[in-house]
Structure 1
Amino acid sequence: MSDPDGLQIGGRPRPVIRPRPASAWNGQEAILDVLAQCRWFRMLSRDELREVYREGVVISLPKGRTVFRTGDTSSDIYILISGRIAISTTGLSGREIGFRQYGPADAFGELAALDGKPRSANAKAMQASQLLRISPSGFRRLLATYPSVAEEVLKSLARLVRALSDRIAENSARAPVRIVGGIVQMAAEAAPAPDTIRVQIHPAPTDEELAARYDSHRESVNRVINELKRRGLVSRSRAALTVLDLPGLRRHLAEMRG
């Protein structure tokens, strides 16, 4: 098994992702704008963001291309510049279970960069995407140079542990509880502040995506969404799923759990 830029994974040939050095990228200032919005780097100055930029290479992925798979030995980190990346795991039955999606300014891949162990999840481009890829040594240099980056990475790890704990609890619950709990989690991640009431989840997850993510069926998801709409807690369009009252949705989830 090779890293995601290698030629082979599990015996199957893979095309090489051809990076170009970040220093040669024409959209440098636009990329710096995205880095400034990333949780890890938001406390850095423009000149410091340029140092982050110089640590990486920019890669472009077509829709459907895998960034890495569970068990890969690659350990780079990624900052999504444009597009959409889905993170999933593979269950014992071989079924792929999605649990997170990333948009521009989101960073991921830090676990393997920190402990050097194989990847614990799959990452796949759901849209044509551009990413800044930074080697584990470059990532460690950034952590050592900028304490604010190290602090934000620790916070992101804490959020990941909490999300996984919540996921374990939801997986033992009934399907409607898992679905509503998942929507609450997505809204909390998308909320700009902890006390936000109205939150837009963009792009809107489809019924099929929610069913796969929360181990249910499309019909069950549709019934749950319609019930939440009837209660005035959510609205949905093709572009976004909007939680109209996040505190109210949390209360409804608590009532469902009994």
Structure 2
Amino acid sequence: MDDVLRRAPLFAALDDEQAAELRASMTETTLPRGEALFHEGDPGDRLYVIVEGKVKLHRASADGRESMLQVVGPGDMIGELALFDPGPRSASATALTEVKLLGLGHGDLQPWLGARPEVAMALLRAISRRLRRTNDVMSDLVFADVPGRVAKALLDLSRRFGVQSEEGIHVVHDLTQEELAQLVGASRETVNKALADFAQRGWLRLEARAVILLDVERLARRSR
């Protein structure tokens, strides 16, 4: 668990003694697959660090359609905006697998931010990366075609969850076909067509809630 926490920006700026002290002030939460950690619009004043499992961040439109913003996993943080600006949650967070998280309230972190500006800077850098990624996603929705977005999404998932094997990069993403389509921002039929084309070309092999990337170079070129 300590190695995972050290990857989180909240802990990266602390020494071992400080990290242990902060860890002791956090509360542990576990969720089964499919259970929501919080919903869009809920009051938010708590940050979470994922220790085990995967969580999807998603939003719903007025007509009930879902869009997925990101899949996050061990070492990632959720809800960091609440520490600087407590208010309604901007998205929902739902467990894709069984998940273990550590939570920290706004009031508990304020003394750390006041006494250790390096912690605040680390959190702000994390928020900046999240914003930059959101800008990239918005740009892709406007300028990139669906196969390009599918290739880019698979490469992003591989960088964070992929394991190198003899065949290629094995990526257990834990997403259904519908959820993968929500992540890409397209219909399930269009995404499945792109995946089938990639498989026919020998660039990947599909598995249940997983994929093996066989030709990363060609997928990277297709994602541009």
TM-score (norm 1): 0.72
Determine the structure 1 residue equivalent to 2:138: 168
Aligned 8 A contact 2:161 2:173 in 1: no
- Could you say which residue in structure 1 is the equivalent of 2:153? 182
**Superposition deviation, residue 238 in structure 1:** 3.9
How far off is 1:133 after superposition?
0.9
- Percent identity among equivalent residues? 27
Rounded to whole Å, the distance in 2 between the matches of 1:49 and 1:225 is: 43
Measured against aligned partners, the alpha-carbon deviations of 1:32-60 in whole angstroms (never above 9, x if no partner) come to 34312324323533322211212211122
Look up the match of 2:37: 67
Any idea what the Cα deviations from partners look like across 1:73-94, whole Å, max 9, x if unmatched? 1210001122322110112322
- Structure 1 CA distance, aligned partners of 2:182 and 2:155? 17
* Alignment check: 8 A CA contact 1:32 1:53 kept: no
Amino acid at match of 1:114: F
CA–CA separation in structure 1 for the residues paired with 2:102 and 2:133: 25
> C-alpha separation between the residues in 1 aligned to 2:210 and 2:137?
23
Q: Relative contact order (alpha carbons < 8 A, sep ≥ 6): 1 or 2 greater?
A: 2
Superposed CA deviations along residues 179-228 of structure 1, whole A, max 9, x for unmatched, are 23333443455589xxxxx7554335332221122232333222212333
Q: Report what 2:50 is aligned to.
A: 80
Aligned 8 A contact 1:143 1:149 in 2: yes
Within 5 Å, give how 1:117-132 maps onto structure 2.
117-132=87-102
Q: Indicate if the aligned counterparts of 1:32 and 1:46 stay in contact, CA closer than 8 A.
A: no
1:248, distance to aligned residue in structure 2 (A): 4.1
Confirm or deny that 1:217 pairs with 2:187.
yes
What displacement does 1:96 show?
1.9
Please, which runs of 5 or more residues in structure 1 have no aligned partner? Answer: 1-30, 193-197
Which residue does 1:156 correspond to in 2?
126
Contact 1:207 1:222 in 2 (8 A): yes
Secondary structure of the 2:109 match is helix
Q: Distance in 1 between matches of 2:116 and 2:200?
A: 48
Question: Aligned equivalents of 1:228 and 1:248: distance in 2?
Answer: 10
Label 1:66 to 1:206 Cα distance change in 2 as closer, same or farther (>3 A). closer
The residue number in structure 1 matching 2:6 is 36
SS in 2 for 1:153: helix
Q: Could you tell me which of 90, 93, 107 is aligned with 1:137?
A: 107
- Report the TM-score when normalising by structure 2: 0.81
Residue deviations 1:11-44 (CA, integer Å, cap 9, x gap):
xxxxxxxxxxxxxxxxxxxx43431232432353
Over 3 Å counting, the alpha-carbon distance change for 1:65 and 1:118 in structure 2 is same
- In the aligned structure 2, how far is the partner of 1:176 from the partner of 1:146? 45
Q: Within the alignment, does 1:241 sit opposite 2:211 as a pair?
A: yes
Residue equivalent to 1:95: 65
Gaps of 5+ in 2: none
- May I ask how many residue pairs the two structures share in their alignment? 219
**Distance change in 2, residues 1:246/1:144 (3 Å):** farther
* Change beyond 3 A, Cα 1:238–1:191: closer
Change in CA separation of 1:142 and 1:200 when aligned onto 2, cut-off 3 Å: farther
Instruction: Indicate the SS of the match to 1:209.
Output: helix
- SS of the aligned residue for 1:94 comes to coil
Deviations 1:77-136, CA, capped at 9 Å, x for gaps: 001122322110112322121221222222110112211221100011223322111001
